[in-house]
């Protein structure tokens, strides 16, 4: 019941955690490493680049495809989230058919209690995405911890587009003494600069083209930050978006990379990053750029 397409030439796909855990136990040796890429499906080139990195660095690579209900604070967003398992598995098989796919049901993961655990991420959860998506990071922490317990990976790969999520997962691993290396990977961008995201699927071609404005603005903000204050740059970005009716800016924040708290006075010893969330016709896009 759990493993479909399971022979020497086809990619192993598991729909249940017990079968996956048994399989991983049977293939792992003392020194073999397992790379893991958790996803919510609707795979794009950004996800495939994480898989390529894992394939290059590990004996085994596991990809999970699971639209996690507890991290959505908006039921319409959850409902509309693209679910494309068949295309996703084809894309993975084309890349490398030794990748192990885990596509569990909500019940297999949550066992009847679709609830998130309460985490303390030392305040990282109270900034930006945490402010605008209450409960989101408890949902992310819950699913990632559960997936780590099932897959027990050596290395787990996450895109830097969700930089706040990456920092929060590192914190969760550290606080729970989990034995997994969390590896942040560069943002994969379309040729016009738009950061790859499963949500881009919902944009028209014209909206995708227009959305290059987000990265162009971030690049300009980075340039300005070299000589101007965070406050000046933030006001400039807010004005720039106010003058472009195609977008609704939710937030722009320049923050300390380690604590994610807003930058008030610049310090040479700190690393800063700009974070942005915008709506394009009700579709929420986020992006980020390192500033120094």
What phi, psi does 162 have (nearest 5°)?
-95, 65
C-alpha dihedral, 9 to 105 to 47 to 32, nearest 10° = -60
Distance (Å) of CA 29 to CA 6, 25, 33, 157: 20, 8, 8, 21
Closest approach, Cβ 217 to ligand PAF, in A, equals: 23
Encoded one letter per residue, x for contact with ligand PAF by CB under 6 A and - for no contact, window 97-136 reads ----------------------------------------
- Is 47 noted as a catalytic residue in this protein? yes
Closest approach, Cβ 281 to ligand PAF, in A, equals: 22
Query: How far, in Å, CA of 130 to CA of 137, rounded?
Result: 7
Query: How far, in Å, CA of 251 to CA of 275, rounded?
Result: 8
Q: Tell me if 151 contacts ligand PAF by CB under 6 A.
A: no
Half-sphere exposure of 71 (CA within 13 A, CB side): 17
Q: Tell me if 164 contacts ligand PAF by CB under 6 A.
A: no
Q: Is 257 exposed, middle or buried, given 0-12, 13-18 or 19+ CB atoms closer than 10 A?
A: middle
Only one of the segments 13-21, 35-43, 270-278, 284-292 lies at the binding site for ligand PAF (rule: CB under 6 A); that segment is: 35-43
Residues 6+ apart with CB under 8 A from 211: 192, 194, 200, 203, 280, 285
For the chain, helix (H) and strand (E) counts, in that order, are 11, 10
Only one of the segments 17-25, 93-101, 139-147, 184-192 lies at the binding site for ligand PAF (rule: CB under 6 A); that segment is: 139-147
Contacts (CB under 6 A) with ligand PAF, residues 37-96: 38-40, 68, 71
Q: Tell me if 144 contacts ligand PAF by CB under 6 A.
A: yes
Encoded one letter per residue, x for contact with ligand PAF by CB under 6 A and - for no contact, window 165-204 reads x---------------------------------------
Distance (Å) of CA 282 to CA 39, 71, 77: 23, 18, 10
Q: What share of the chain is helix, strand, coil (3-state, %, to 5)?
A: 45, 20, 35
Closest approach, Cβ 100 to ligand PAF, in A, equals: 16
Only one of the segments 1-9, 26-34, 137-145, 271-279 lies at the binding site for ligand PAF (rule: CB under 6 A); that segment is: 137-145
Closest approach, Cβ 166 to ligand PAF, in A, equals: 9
Closest approach, Cβ 39 to ligand PAF, in A, equals: 5
How many residues bind ligand PAF (CB under 6 A)? The answer is: 10
Q: Residue 57: in which H helix or E strand, if any?
A: helix 45-57
Nearer to ligand PAF, 130 or 210 (CB): 130
Residues contributing to the site for ligand PAF (CB under 6 A): 38-40, 68, 71, 140, 143-144, 162, 165
As annotated, the active-site residues are: 47
């Amino acid at each position: 019941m759990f493993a479909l397409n399971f022979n020497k030439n086809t990619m192993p796909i598991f729909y249940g955690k017990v079968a996956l855990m048994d399989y991983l136990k049977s293939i792992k040796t003392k020194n073999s490493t397992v790379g893991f890429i958790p996803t919510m499906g609707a795979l794009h080139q950004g996800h495939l680049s994480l898989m390529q990195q894992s394939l290059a660095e590990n004996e085994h690579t596991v990809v999970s495809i699971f639209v996690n209900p507890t991290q959505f604070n908006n039921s319409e967003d959850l409902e509309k989230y693209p679910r494309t398992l068949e295309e996703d598995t084809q894309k993975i098989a084309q890349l490398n058919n030794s990748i192990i796919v885990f596509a569990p049901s909500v019940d297999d993961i949550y066992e009847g209690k679709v609830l998130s655990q309460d985490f303390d991420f030392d305040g990282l959860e109270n900034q930006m995405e945490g402010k605008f998506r209450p409960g989101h990071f408890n949902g992310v922490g819950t699913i990632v911890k559960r997936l780590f317990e099932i897959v027990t990976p050596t290395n787990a790969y996450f895109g830097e587009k969700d930089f706040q999520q990456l920092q929060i997962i590192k914190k969760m691993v550290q606080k729970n003494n989990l034995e997994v290396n969390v590896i942040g990977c560069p943002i994969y961008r379309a040729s016009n600069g738009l950061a790859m995201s499963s949500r881009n699927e919902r944009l028209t071609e014209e909206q995708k083209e227009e959305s290059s404005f987000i990265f162009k603005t971030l690049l300009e903000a980075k340039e300005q930050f070299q000589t101007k204050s965070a406050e000046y740059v933030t006001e400039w970005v807010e004005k720039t978006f106010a003058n472009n009716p195609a977008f609704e800016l939710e937030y722009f924040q320049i923050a300390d990379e380690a604590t994610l708290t807003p930058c008030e006075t610049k310090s040479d010893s700190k690393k800063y990053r700009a974070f942005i969330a915008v709506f394009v016709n009700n579709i929420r896009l986020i992006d980020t750029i390192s500033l120094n």
